[in-house]
Amino acid sequence: MNLWDKGTSVDALMQEFTVGNDRAMDARLARWDVVGSIAHVSMLAEVGLLGKEEGELLVHELSAILREIDEHGIVIDEQAEDIHSHIEAELTARLGDVGKKIHIARSRNDQVLVDLKLFLRHELRTARRGVHELVGMLLEQADAYRNVLLPGYTHYQVAMPSSFGLWFGGHAEALLEDLRVLDMAIDAANANPLGSAAGYGSSFPIDRELTTRALNFERMHITSTFAQASRGRTERLAAIALAQVASSMARVATDVVLFMSQSFGFVTLPDALTTGSSIMPHKKNPDVFEVLRARCNRLQSLPVEIGFMTSNLPSGYHRDMQFIKDRIIPAIDEFALCVRIMQHVVPQITPTLNIMDDPRYRYAYSVDHVHALVMQGHTFRDAYRMVAQQIADGTFEPRNVTLPPNTTPHIGSIEEPGLSLLRERWKQAL
């Protein structure tokens, strides 16, 4: 059933091409379509556009459909163009002509808008919880290995001593910052578009504030034209948030892949988290992190893809927007999988002890020697040249340089990686 059917025949190939993968995507939006319809029907009855008994009948059957979806899922009838058509046909089959009244003062445009807003708000909040839990795991690792040193690199060259407290803590802080981007995306989804109809409002005396409260939206989109324009915009902001977190997770994955190589040997994984080679018996490959990196990098392309689909569209609804759904919905699932894998593997990363004892890292301590000379009264530039000369003539001897008495290490240093502050931010972010 097409809600726009006027009794004329429709070209079958055109129909199949334009519907595309919409039914499968709409199955993921189904419960939210019903939730939005319950709010809409309740409002229609409140303002007198439906009789009280009609409203109660519709809410009762919609609630039954919602339970069925939550318990058993849904398969959208191939005769229905989308979830909206399917639900209306189901209500009509159960209630007769009363079911046909559900579309009063509403368009499929604002239906899909509210479906997507509710879906994204829920899924992004779920994603936020997952990322927050991951931050906690990274902080646990940072605490456990805070005093284990590893060399820091710049330009892929040995630079200065670092620590696993800083390494795990740094990745935790990155994800803490990413929670702010997720919050931005959640906020964009937390506005009610219902009642904007096809993008120009309705002549019916509906109450949009009532549906805003019923659906627990923080606010409503005021102008119908912007409510319609939020289609694509909301999904792109969600994609930006997912891509930002994915970027941070990809960096963790890249570090682990590098650190596990024999040339570095900074970390190990349990054998159960590695794979082998078909011809090289010694191989223990970090495939899980390579696949994780690839998936995260693919997620980073999502904002660009959505941007291209919407960048040359004028105001108003266009069918192009339908195809944003079959990008953002699978991306939500892939993102959840990546977070779940990260939660599984991060606690199993084991740092190597005494890495800095290797002679190849002897010059990593040169900066500490420069600083020690400065504390003795030399200018920084003179101290720099003195140590550089020792390195050039082969007389430099690395040794632990202790801080002068009454000197407090700064926050973010090896001695004070700031983990207690990060943990406090993590608690506040909950």
Residue-wise pLDDT for 221-236, tens only, equals 999 999 999 999 999 9
| Most confident stretch, 41-55, 73-87, 300-314, 403-417 | 41-55
User: Same structural domain for residues 362 and 234?
Assistant: no
Q: Are residues 350 and 268 in the same domain?
A: yes
Q: What is the pLDDT of residues 158-174, one digit of tens each?
A: 999 999 999 999 999 99
Q: Is 5 domain-assigned? A: no
Q: Does the pLDDT at position 8 exceed 70?
A: no
The alpha-carbon radius of gyration of the chain (Å, integer) is 29
Same domain, 362 and 351: no
Question: For position 12, what pLDDT does the model report?
Answer: 73
Q: Do the domain assignments include residue 427? A: no
Do 286 and 401 sit in the same domain of this protein? no
Q: What is the pLDDT of residues 258-306, one digit of tens each?
A: 999 999 999 999 999 988 767 887 778 899 999 999 999 999 999 999 9
Are residues 116 and 43 part of one domain? no
Does residue 400 sit in the same domain as residue 371?
yes
Q: In this structure, is residue 201 part of a structural domain? A: yes
Q: Are residues 277 and 413 in the same domain?
A: no
For residues 189 and 330, membership in a common domain is answered with yes
Tokens 């931010």 label which residue?
A: 425
Question: Is 2 a member of any domain?
Answer: no
Q: Which pLDDT value is given to residue 4?
A: 46
- CA–CA–CA angle 68, 193, 101 (5° rounding): 55
pLDDT at 66 over 80: yes
Q: Does 285 reside within a domain? A: yes
The answer to whether 372 touches 384, Cβ cutoff 8 Å, is no
Per residue in 11-35, pLDDT (tens digit) is 777 767 766 677 888 999 999 999 9
Residues 303 and 385 placed together within one structural domain of the fold? no
Instruction: Report residue 331 as tokens.
Output: 């991306």
Cβ-Cβ contacts under 8 Å for 101 (sequence gap 6 or more): 44, 50, 54, 58
Confidence tier at 417 by pLDDT (50, 70, 90): very high
Read off the pLDDT of residues 234-243 as tens digits, 9 standing for 90 and up.
Answer: 999 999 999 9
- Whether the CB-CB separation of 171 and 251 falls below 8 Å is answered with yes
Q: Where are the beta strands (DSSP E) in 187-261?
A: 191-192, 219-220
Are residues 327 and 344 both part of a single domain?
yes
Question: Per-residue pLDDT for 80 more than 90?
Answer: no
Looking at the fold, whether 235 and 381 belong to one and the same domain comes out as: no
Q: Are residues 389 and 278 in the same domain?
A: no
Contact 261, 289 (CB under 8 A): no
- Domain membership of residue 343 (yes or no) is yes
- CATH number of the domain enclosing 26: 1.10.275.10
Write down the pLDDT at residue 84: 92
Q: By the 8 A CB rule, do 82 and 2 touch?
A: no
Q: Is the pLDDT of residue 3 over 60?
A: no
Give yes or no for residue 193 having a pLDDT over 50. Answer: yes
Which of 69, 104, 139 terminates a domain? The answer is 104
Report if residue 217 sits inside a domain. Answer: no
pLDDT-derived band of residue 402, with 50, 70 and 90 as boundaries?
Answer: low
pLDDT digits (tens, 9 = 90+) for 330-383: 999 999 999 999 999 999 999 999 999 999 999 999 999 999 999 899 999 999
Question: pLDDT per residue over 369-383, tens digit each?
Answer: 999 999 899 999 999
Domain end: 356, 374, 408, which one? 356
Q: How many structural domains is the chain composed of?
A: 3
Indicate which CATH number applies to the domain containing 334. Answer: 1.20.200.10
The band of 406, judged by pLDDT with boundaries at 50, 70 and 90, is low
| Domain closes at, from 89, 104, 119 | 104
- pLDDT at residue number 314: 86
The pTM score is: 0.92
Full residue range of the structural domain in which residue 389 is found: 357-420
Question: What's 402's DSSP letter?
Answer: P
Residues 306-321 pLDDT 10s: 999 888 888 888 888 8
Q: What are 189's two structure tokens?
A: 């989804």
Residue 237 lies in a domain: yes
